[in-house]
Amino acid sequence: MKKTYIDQGAEAQIYQQGNKILKKRVPKTYRHPELDHKIRKTRTKKEAKITSEARKAGIPTPIILDIKKYTITFEYINGEKLKNIYNNLTPSQYRQIGENIGKLHKAGLVHGDLTTSNMIKHKNTIYLIDFGLAEYDKHIESRGVDLHILLQSIKATHKPNNSIKQIKNGYKNTFPKHKKTFKRLNEIQKRGRYTQ
Per-residue exposure over 29-61, b if at least 16 CB sit within 10 Å of its own CB, e if not: eeeeeeebeebbeebbeebbebbebbbebebbb
Point out which residues pair with 120 in neighbouring strands. Answer: 81, 127
Just list the catalytic residues: 113
Q: ∠ CA 81-85-89 to the nearest 5 degrees? A: 110
Backbone angles phi, psi at 173, to 5 degrees: -65, -30
Point out which residues pair with 22 in neighbouring strands. Answer: 15, 73
